């Protein structure tokens, strides 16, 4: 399908879906994809997993729509390139942190990015209330046990969080600059090329059929679906609102860990999840007017 083709039913469905529902669906998809990726770590290292995830996502998106570059401005191409580099760096930092510290704490530390975006965009007292409540829930999820964590793992998770905040802002600009999935396809292709040297380091492990199949599933769940949904949502809502909605991430990550990996949840973790969910619901209600306006 060419870039000028009429959008299909899938694109039309995305356009009609409420932005909040797109964000929540994207979070669920990426977290269940992360749970699958955790099982893939047994065969591959984090770098190889990231490369396969991005490469498989790029192939799927290219099969859906082949972008044309001739009519694109230099600014648009630079924007897609910057977004692609951020994607690669964010995923590599986060997966490397998962190799050193627990998943729940890594996700919590990474959330510093969306939370910073939300704080920067807060204007009313009620908005700040949801942010504070989400922060309390996230801190509760960490169980206060950070003293024995691998220092490099903590730094990598925080770095991924900073890149996540940059991702939110660039994603909003990418959605306005490109129609459909064109910008996303270009960016993920660039991200896969950036991660290629890391993938080549473990080339012998990349030839295992089972690993390739699982990595393709991770690519669709963790990249194609969530990035497409988030791109459409950020066309219609402010990055600050998007950042607060992302406070659901630790809660859904815990649920994915329980369902896929059999990880149990303590009473304290459940309390943290409840606080984060309440904050997200409050943020969603605050976003009703902006959603109706568009």
Q: Tens digits of per-residue pLDDT, 192-218?
A: 999 988 877 665 566 677 777 887 888
Q: How many residues does the chain have?
A: 294
pLDDT digits (tens, 9 = 90+) for 205-264: 666 777 778 878 888 888 888 888 887 887 777 766 776 777 778 778 878 878 887 766
Phi-psi bin for 177: left (phi > 0), alpha (psi -120 to 50), beta? alpha
Residue 87 CA to residue 80 CA, distance in Å, equals 10
Q: Does residue 228 sit in helix, strand or coil? A: helix
**What number of CA atoms fall less than 13 Å from residue 192's CA on the CB side?**
20
Q: How confident is the model at residue 90 (pLDDT cuts 50, 70, 90)?
A: very high
pLDDT-wise least confident of 97-111, 155-169, 278-292: 278-292
What pTM was computed for the model?
0.77
User: Using an 8 Å Cβ cutoff, are 256 and 92 in contact?
Assistant: no
Backbone φ and ψ of 145, nearest 5°? -100, 85
Could you state, in order of their start, the residue ranges of all structural domains in the chain?
A: 30-293
User: Average pLDDT for residues 136-144, to the nearest whole number?
Assistant: 71
DSSP secondary structure string for all residues of 99-167:
TTS-HHHHHHHHTHHHHHHHHHH--SHHHHHHHHHHHHHHHHHTTT--TTS-HHHHHHHHHHHHHHHHH
Q: Distance of CA 38 to CAs 33, 102, 188, 261, Å?
A: 9, 11, 21, 9
């Amino acid at each position: 399908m060419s870039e000028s083709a009429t959008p299909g039913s899938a694109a039309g469905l995305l356009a009609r879906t409420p932005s909040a529902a797109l964000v929540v669906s994207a979070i669920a998809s990426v977290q269940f994809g992360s749970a699958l990726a955790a099982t893939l770590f047994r065969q591959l290292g984090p770098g190889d997993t990231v490369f396969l995830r991005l490469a498989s996502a790029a192939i799927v998106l290219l099969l859906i729509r082949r972008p044309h570059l001739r009519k694109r401005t230099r600014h648009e191409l630079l924007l897609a390139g910057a977004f692609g580099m951020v994607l690669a760096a964010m995923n590599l930092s986060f997966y490397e942190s998962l190799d050193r510290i627990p998943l729940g704490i890594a996700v919590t530390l990474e959330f510093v990015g969306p939370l910073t975006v939300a704080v920067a965009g807060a204007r009313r007292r009620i908005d700040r209330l949801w942010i504070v409540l989400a922060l309390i829930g996230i801190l509760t999820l960490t169980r206060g046990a950070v003293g024995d964590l691998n220092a490099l793992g903590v730094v990598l998770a925080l770095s991924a969080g900073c890149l996540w905040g940059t991702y939110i802002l660039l994603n909003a600009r990418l959605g306005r600059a490109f129609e459909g999935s064109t910008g996303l396809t270009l960016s993920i292709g660039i991200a896969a090329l950036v991660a290629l040297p890391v993938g080549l380091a473990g080339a012998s492990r990349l030839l295992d059929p089972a690993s390739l199949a699982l990595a393709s599933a991770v690519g669709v769940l963790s990249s194609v679906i969530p990035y497409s949904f988030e791109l459409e949502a950020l066309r219609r809502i402010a990055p600050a609102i998007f950042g607060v909605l992302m406070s659901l991430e630790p809660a859904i990550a815990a649920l994915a860990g329980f369902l896929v990996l059999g990880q149990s949840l303590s009473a304290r973790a459940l309390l943290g999840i409840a606080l984060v969910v309440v904050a997200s619901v409050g943020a969603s209600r605050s976003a009703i007017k902006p959603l109706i306006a568009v």
